[in-house]
Amino acid sequence: MSDPRPARLARATADTLWDVIVIGGGASGLGTAVEAASRGYKTLLLEAHDYAKGTSSRSTKLVHGGVRYLAQGHIHLVRESLHERGLLRRNAPHLVHDLGFLVATYQIWRLPFYGIGLKLYDLLAGKLNLRPSRALGRKATLTHIPTLKSSHLKGGILYFDGQFDDARLAITLMRTLEDLGGVAMNATPVTGLVKLGGRVTGVQFTDSETGRGYTARARAVINATGVFVDAVRRLDEADIAPMLTPSQGVHIVVDRRFLAADTALMVPRTSDGRVLFAVPWHDRTLIGTTDTPVAEVSEEPRALATEIDFLLKTAGDYLDPAPRRDDILSVFAGLRPLVKAAIGDTKSLSREHELVVSDSGLITLTGGKWTTYRQMGEDAVDLAAQTGGLPPRPSLTGSLRLHGWAENSGRNHWHVYGHDAAEIHTLPGADVRLHPALPYTEAEVRWAARCEQARTVEDVLARRLRALFLDAATSQAMAPRVAEILAEELGRDTAWQAAQVRTFMDLAAGYLSSPNQRAV
């Protein structure tokens, strides 16, 4: 097969004036680019590494209103998030599904306390509510999650939120952008801003694979780089004050047996004042998260031993059997782009997004969360139209069906592809698993290279397939065959394959909870 990247790069570097250039291929950048393209604006998106490489692939996998924001009094944010949850459930049913969450109570007075709060949660969702919450007795509570500690259990409250696959939604948005006529490029870091008369009129970027530099002009440039927005802002003003207070959240993944249910557990208040979830995800159990302030941002943040211990201890307070460190299949960390506050700790900061326009016209979008990505994009493009003098056009994304839309796509691992799944099944290796421990096939690697801009073994095993996040040691075992298929698809030699495997093995080692774990 011929590599599709050169043709895409040719479109991105043609001598043209874009209406909008978006820097960043995470939730906010992709949402903004889809919003712009859906309005008919000529749109280019540039991502330094890969789509959802950072925070946007490291979430708790929930499309939700934010129960803890309700407790903090952020009613506007909760209402907006619940509205967006309903829209996303409607616009991407192949990626978002309803999930029951159980709040287990071991003190009888907490039942009405949580029950009233979650009824308010239902009311704020309005017509887009998923299902009404309800109180459960002790027996029904244990039926929903049999592994709950039963001693002193009084009952629980069952409520509903949405669940999704974050990196797969990112890839779907990239495909949607292409469907709308926009251009998206990964492995193209922006290295500078182009100015004319003191105004930002474009960007300079590099193709990481060739080292060649390019310039692209635009009427509006939007900085949507998540935790890295301050780095791009410094390209505009070198001594500018930072906007963000980054915070690290860690998740661990263990075997399904520790939850043994299709219902998630929500712990409303941990010892550090956070909400903790144990969530069924891709036939595993995902547990998280923590909140640790960090001084600097990095592309591959690493979990601290104390964070892992905290998650295991808190899970052990509720689950029997309790997961131990040796049970961890993967551990990953993500950084939250929290907007700076004058006082207070990071877990008290709101996730509401913020838009800022510099004196030179650079638009920066930061804050927010996956659930509100569409609203963030709408607000950013409204501002870009004003700043760049674009013809005003209404937002259409509230009812825009995302690429692959399929109403009844099942709940196996194929459902994230929506209507594309049938075409993947026609490719070589559709029935050949990459490893017995995970459902992924060789055909999916080919599809990732041909249609989803996968360039590296990491792109495939971390974000097109979720192997790295589900079982790090198994993903290491899959790496050589994935490199071989990618080399065939992209026209690479054996030296490239070997280098890819080495790089991925080193990366995946950081997702292992113990140095004694190894590929199997």
pLDDT category of residue 68 using cuts at 50, 70 and 90: confident
Quick one: tokens of 430? 């559709």
- Longest CA pairwise span in the chain (Å): 71
Residue with token string 């326009």: 357
Q: What is the pLDDT of residue 353?
A: 87
Q: What is the pLDDT of residue 350?
A: 45
d(CA 258, CA 262): 12
- For the chain, percent helix, then strand, then coil, each to nearest 5? 40, 25, 35
Quick one: tokens of 37? 């393209």
What is the C-alpha radius of gyration for the chain, rounded to an integer number of angstroms?
22
Q: What is the pLDDT of residue 412?
A: 81
DSSP, residue by residue, 166-211: HHHHHHHHHHHHHHTT-EEESS--EEEEEEETTEEEEEEEE-TTT-
| Average pLDDT of span 58-80 | 87
Say how many residues make up the chain.
520
At 275 the three-state DSSP class reads coil
Sequence-distant (≥ 6) Cβ neighbours of residue 452 within 8 angstroms:
171, 174, 175, 464
| Average pLDDT of span 274-282 | 94
Q: What is the pLDDT of residue 514?
A: 64
Beta strands in 69-133 (DSSP E): 96-105
Share of the chain above pLDDT 70, in %: 96
d(CA 209, CA 453): 13
pLDDT digits (tens, 9 = 90+) for 5-56: 999 999 999 878 999 999 999 999 999 999 999 999 999 999 999 999 999 9
Q: What is the pLDDT of residue 49?
A: 98
Q: What is the pLDDT of residue 411?
A: 72
Q: What is the pLDDT of residue 107?
A: 92
| Closest listed residue to residue 124, CA positions, set 168, 65, 204, 167 | 65
518 pLDDT more than 70: no
pLDDT category of residue 75 using cuts at 50, 70 and 90: confident
- For the chain, helix (H) and strand (E) counts, in that order, are 16, 20
pTM score: 0.96
- Check if the beta carbon of residue 327 is closer than 8 Å to that of residue 254: yes
pLDDT digits (tens, 9 = 90+) for 84-135: 999 999 999 999 999 999 999 999 988 888 899 999 999 999 999 999 999 9
72 pLDDT more than 90: no
pLDDT digits (tens, 9 = 90+) for 226-243: 999 999 999 999 999 999
pLDDT digits (tens, 9 = 90+) for 362-421: 999 998 899 999 999 999 999 999 999 999 999 999 999 999 999 866 678 999 999 999
pLDDT digits (tens, 9 = 90+) for 172-224: 999 999 999 999 999 999 999 999 999 999 999 999 999 999 999 999 999 99
346 pLDDT more than 70: no
323 pLDDT more than 60: yes
